[in-house]
A and B are shown apart, each in its own frame.
Chain A
C-alpha cells in the first residue's frame, strides 16, 4: 500500500457518545501521518462531532438518521458511493462491534476490497500499513498486509490502542458534511421494531477497573449471583464466559472473549472459568489475573498471577464475607 494520505474511522455513536473503540481508532489513525476523517450515522451525529474533533477528526461525514434500519446496508452504501465518486481514503478503520462487522462485510462487497479482521495493532512506520492479529487465543501474533489497492478495510478489536485527545487546533470544530445514501434495494429490508438494554448498576464492563467473571464451574445459574455480588463489592463489573451466556445464566452483553467484549482491567477475577482460547483472547491483557477453579489442569492457571485450586462456590462466599467484614 502506498503512503497513507487519508484515513476514515467509522464513528459508531449512541446518543452523541462515540463507542470506546472509535476514540482508540482516531488516536491510532493520527499516527499514520495523513488526514483523519470520520463517517458517522444516527440521530445525534452532530453532537458527537466535537468529541470526534478532540481526537483528531477534521471532517465528519454524516449519513444522518437511519430510522429503523440496521446500520450495515445504509452506512456501507453511503461510504461506497463516496469512494466511487472519487472521495477515496487509503484506509477505513472499523471497530469490531456487531454493527461494525455488518458494515465492513457489506462495504467489502460493494468496493470489491478484502477485509483484515480481528486486528489488534497497526504499524504505519514505513508508510504502509501492516496489521497485528492475536491468534490461537493470543498465543501467537500474526502480521499481515494488503497486497494491492486501496482502500484497505480494517476491523479492529476494542482495547487495541490507547486513547489520547489531540492539542491540534485543526480539528477543534470539524466540518460536518451530510452524505447521501444511494438506493439499497432489498438489502435494507430488515426493520428494528424494538430495542432493549441490559440494565445493571456499576461501571460498564469494558471500562471497569475490576472485572469478576463467572464460568461453567459455578455449577448453577443461582451461583452466578456470587459473581455479581463480588463485582459490586469491588466496584467492578460482572462478566461471563460463553458457556454461561449461552446457558442463559447471564445476559449476552456480559460475555468476555472472542465473540464478546475485550476487557483490560487492573484486575480480572476468573471464577470457575477453564480458560478456552476464545475466552482468553478477551481478557489476557488484564494487568492482574486471579483464577479460581477446581481443575488444577485448567488452562486459565497458565496466565493467572494468583491461582486458587478450589471450589468457587466455597471460596467466593468466604471472600465476600471477608470483604464485608472490613467495612
Chain B
C-alpha cells in the first residue's frame, strides 16, 4: 500500500499575509511551512500504510524555488521520501497548472492512493486534487471525514451539503481529507533528526516532460485586475460581563424585534 500525499508549503500563517503590489501574487519570500491542512493527509497516509502492513508514504510538492522546510516537517512526522518539483517557471501557477505538475509527479511514483487536503490555507481554490484525478483518469472522493481500506477498495465517509454519504471506490484513487479525518501527529525530536537524511528528489518541469507554457503565470490565463480594502465593518459597543451583560443582549434583541 503506497500512498502519495500532496503537500503545499505556504507562508507562516502566524504572520499576516501580504500581496505583491506588482502582480498581486501572495508574498512567499519568508520561511515557508507545511500547510497545516496537509498534516491530516500525512497522518492518514501513515495509518493506512500501517494497517496494510506494508508500503510507504511519499510526499509530492511543487515550488518555484527549492523550498523544502515544509517537506522536512512532513518527513519528520513519518513520511519516507519526497518528490519536489522545483522550477522558476512555476511561479504564478493557477490550480490547473499546479494539477498538471502534481499529476505528472504522481505518475512517476505510481501510488495506490493519493491524499490531499480539501483546500489550501493560503489560496483555498479547492479544485487542484480533483483536477489531478481527472488528469490521471482516476476516480476521486472529496471531503472525506473517515477513510478505511479493505478488499482493494477505499471506503470513505464523505461530507455533503445535508450530512454525509458512504462511498466506496476502487484504487488507484484521489481522496481529499477534511481536518476531522484523523488526529494530527506532531514531529518528535527523533523524527526531526531522521528527516534530515530522508531522500528529497528535486525535478524540473522539463524533467516531467511538461510544456512550460501550460504552467506558471503563462498557463494561468487569468489576471488579477485590482486588490482593494473591503468596506470595513466597524467594531460596535463592548460590554464587560459582570453578571448582567445578558440584559444588554436582551435589549439588543428587542431593538431588532427578535424578541
Contacts and interface: CB of A to CB of B under 8 A. Distances in A.
Contacts of A311: 241
Given A141-B230, A144-B224, A194-B165, A306 B248 contact: yes
Nearest to B242: A310
Given A248-B180, A303-B233, A143 B140 contact: no
A302 B96 CA distance: 36
A146 interface: yes
Interface string A228-259: 00000010000000100111100111000011
A290 B127 contact: no
Interface string B216-240: 0000111111111110010111111
Contacts of A252: 145, 159, 164, 178, 180
B221 A306 contact: no
B137 to A, nearest CB: 6
Interface stretch (B42-50, B56-64, B107-115, B117-125): B117-125
Nearest to A190: B169
Interface stretch (B83-91, B128-136, B185-193): B128-136
A118 B125 contact: yes
B127 A314 contact: no
Nearest to B158: A98
A73 interface: yes
A245 B235 CA distance: 27
B250 interface: yes
Contacts of B207: none
Contacts of B222: 114, 116, 144-147
Interface string A298-316: 0001111111111100110
A306 B16 CA distance: 26
Given A143-B225, A258-B124, A284 B233 contact: yes
A118 B239 CA distance: 35
A139 B224 contact: no
Contacts of B99: 109
B218 to A, nearest CB: 11
Interface in B131-184: 131, 133-135, 137-143, 145, 158-170, 173, 178-180
A256 to B, nearest CB: 14
Contacts of B125: 115, 117-118
Contacts of A248: 180
Given A114-B222, A187-B134, A196 B165 contact: yes
A289 B249 CA distance: 11
A65 B230 CA distance: 42
Q: Is the interface of B mostly helix, strand, loop or mixed?
A: mixed
A308 B236 contact: no
B246 interface: yes
Interface stretch (B71-79, B197-205, B251-259): B251-259
B38 interface: no
A148 interface: yes
Interface residues of B, number: 77
Interface residues of A, number: 95
Given A187-B137, A322-B247, A117 B126 contact: yes
A197 B163 contact: yes
A155 B127 contact: yes
Nearest to A106: B134
B94 A114 contact: yes
A140 B229 contact: yes
B95 interface: yes
Contacts of B134: 73, 76, 105-106, 108-110, 187
A315 B163 contact: no
A194 B166 contact: yes
B245 interface: yes
Interface string A258-270: 1100000011000
A224 to B, nearest CB: 15
Contact of A98 (B138, B142, B259): B142
A266 B19 CA distance: 33
A309 B239 CA distance: 6
A81 interface: no
B160 A193 contact: no
Interface of B: 16-17, 19, 24, 94-96, 99, 118-119, 121, 124-131, 133-135, 137-143, 145, 158-170, 173, 178-180, 220-230, 233, 235-241, 245-250, 252-253, 256, 258-259
Interface of A: 14, 19, 70, 72-73, 76, 96-99, 101-102, 104-106, 108-110, 112-118, 130, 134-136, 138-149, 155, 185-198, 210, 234, 242, 245-248, 251-253, 258-259, 266-267, 278, 284, 288-290, 292, 296, 301-311, 314-315, 318-319, 322-323, 326
Rank and list the top 6 A-B pairs by shortest CB-CB distance, nearest first.
Answer: A310-B241, A105-B130, A305-B236, A190-B169, A109-B134, A105-B127
Given A143-B228, A305-B252, 20 more contacts: A99-B160, A106-B131, A113-B221, A114-B95, A115-B95, A116-B222, A117-B95, A118-B126, A142-B226, A145-B222, A190-B139, A190-B168, A191-B167, A192-B166, A247-B180, A251-B163, A253-B163, A288-B256, A307-B236, A309-B239
